[in-house]
Structure 1
Amino acid sequence: MKAIKRSATGIVVSMLITSAAFAVQVDLNLWTAESYPAVTGFPAGAWTVNSSGQSVTQVANGQPTLFYSDFNVRGMDVRGSVSVANGDDDYIGFAFGFQPGDTSNAAADYLLVDWKGATQFFDFDGLSTTPGTTAVEGLAVSRVTGVPTADEFWGHTDFADDPSGGVAELARGATLGSTGWVAGVEYDLQFLVEEDRLQVFVDDVLELDISGDFPDGRMAFYNFSQGGVTYRAFTRDTIPPGPCPVIPVPASLPLVILGVAGVLIRRLRG
């Protein structure tokens, strides 16, 4: 009978952890760096992957730069962590639906989730011919089209007199919309990316939840004027089709498990 009980328990445990069993570790050695056109005084991004391929650090305090995946992200549940080593206070973030070459693509169209450490006005010179803008402290999601200027990235702006592109802010974080990231803190992140919905969790809190018609494409890490950023231990899994079942009262979960186990044991005894 002990063997039967262990078997039944194993079935129940298997039912509960099946969704986590198929998560795949992301190999960052397969990702590619791409930066926007140079801005005076701001170098291109410098991305360095560690020997295991499980983490990457961007060290340059420079122009908007991305490090994009070898896979399309639609239908994926992606998880990992990010931390900043130094005390600067600019942008860290992620892109969804990015396509290789989008930094010079007039037809680019992707979502950008970025997080500013502190509010700051700045006017970029050089190739950024648009007026200066204010970057607001906190977490936000925006839609990027075409090839925005550095000022448009900085202030989440789409200037009418710049037809080449723009950045349109869609929403700000539920609890972090006006709160900057903190140097030395590692944040756990989860992204649920669907054709018509994007959900962003930070430390298990749902911060962003937007709906719309979103293009498919790569996932990318994103930095702007921020060095010393490390992205680590990312995994990806497929989002199950259809709505996920929810137990209304979390405290009832142990009773459900015991009930299912009891039924299985009785059937095996019979």
Structure 2
Amino acid sequence: MYKTIAAASLLLAAPALAAPVDLSSWQADNYGGANWTVQNAPANDSVFQSVNGNPTIFFEAGSLAQGTTLSGEITVETSADDDFIGFVLGYSDDEINAANADFILVDWKQGTQNFGGSTGNAGLAASRISGDLTSVDLIDTYWGHDAGSNAFEIQRGTNLGATGWNDNQTYTFDIVFTNSLIEVMVDGVLELSFTAADAGLASFDDGAFGFYNYSQQSVRYAGIEEGVAPDPDPQPVPAPGALGLLGLGVLALAARRRRS
């Protein structure tokens, strides 16, 4: 289900203060073939994935990221391939191999490519990965987001839905994750904005932010910061003038009743 991005976006609201994230305690889950190396000591706010392999996720085990934002930079530092980079949200420890998985995948492919009977389309997309992943078909689920597999494609990017990333170009990203709304901004432009209902859920599962690669080597995630997400449903506060008028109205009503 595709939806129009609302003008009242949380990411377009006033930004909250963010703090650098130390990635040294994060860990990798994968189907084999990955090498995540934390860099930029002592801040440890950068990680480099060097291997062209099966789907792999780098995340903070046990963390609950709902109500927070994640920002930073992403760069593919090679021209050797054209596959998937991205993020996961609401991810739990070893969920990539779980019998009852349910997390959100945001992936970005450089070029459209048919592989193993599934077409991986160029561009930025958000999908819900769910069900039994213990014997999942990696190609159908992660490559093609194919109907009938463990993937349900929710939405494609407004501007980058059919446009791949460029070699050796650094992109900024900003992500907001609440129990009812996920938004992704690339280079200051809101690309994805979808609700739990759009994903077929009453609310998103809580869990970790994570970085994601599939069949793409030499990817760097740098300058990672985390902040507090804006309130998705702020309660309006009456202006002082409105409160004054309300008070005058109550007094006038009381006076009329006394005269009666």
TM-score tier after normalising by the smaller chain length: 0.7 to 0.9
CA distance in 1, matches of 2:118, 2:172: 30
Three-state SS of the structure 1 residue aligned to 2:60 is: strand
> Is 1:78 aligned to residue 64 of structure 2?
no
**Structure 1 pair 19–90 and aligned structure 2 pair: CA distance change class (3 A):** closer
Q: How much has 1:56 moved relative to structure 2?
A: 0.4
Q: How much has 1:73 moved relative to structure 2?
A: 1.2
Counterpart residue number, 1:150: 138
Q: Which amino acid aligns with 1:99?
A: S
Q: How much has 1:219 moved relative to structure 2?
A: 0.8
CA distance in 1, matches of 2:232, 2:125: 27
Matching residue within 84, 93, 101 for 2:94: 101
Note the aligned Cα RMSD (angstroms).
Answer: 1.7
CA distance in 2, matches of 1:217, 1:109: 10
When the two structures are superposed, what TM-score results if normalisation uses the length of structure 2? 0.76
Aligned length: 208
Counterpart residue number, 2:222: 232
Counterpart residue number, 1:200: 184
**Once superposed, which parts of structure 1, at least 4 consecutive aligned residues long, lie more than 6 Å away?**
none
Judge which range, 149-158 or 228-237, deviates more.
149-158
Counterpart residue number, 1:26: 21
Q: Output aligned runs, 1:249-260, within 5 Å.
A: none
Three-state SS of the structure 1 residue aligned to 2:164 is: coil
Over the matched positions of the two proteins, sequence identity in percent amounts to 38
CA distance in 1, matches of 2:38, 2:50: 11
Q: How much has 1:34 moved relative to structure 2?
A: 0.8
**Structure 1 pair 19–176 and aligned structure 2 pair: CA distance change class (3 A):** closer
Q: How much has 1:234 moved relative to structure 2?
A: 0.9
CA distance in 2, matches of 1:116, 1:76: 26
Q: How much has 1:240 moved relative to structure 2?
A: 3.5
Q: Which amino acid aligns with 1:61?
A: N
Matching residue within 109, 122, 139 for 1:116: 109
Deviations 1:190-228 (A, max 9, x none): 001010110000011000000012111011100000000
Three-state SS of the structure 2 residue aligned to 1:184 is: coil
Consecutive unaligned residues in structure 2, runs of 5 or more: 1-13, 197-202, 236-260
> Is 1:167 aligned to residue 151 of structure 2?
yes
When the two structures are superposed, what TM-score results if normalisation uses the length of structure 1? 0.73
Q: Which amino acid aligns with 2:130?
A: T
Deviations 1:28-76 (A, max 9, x none): 101111102x4xxxxx111011133111000000000000125321001
Q: How much has 1:243 moved relative to structure 2?
A: 4.7
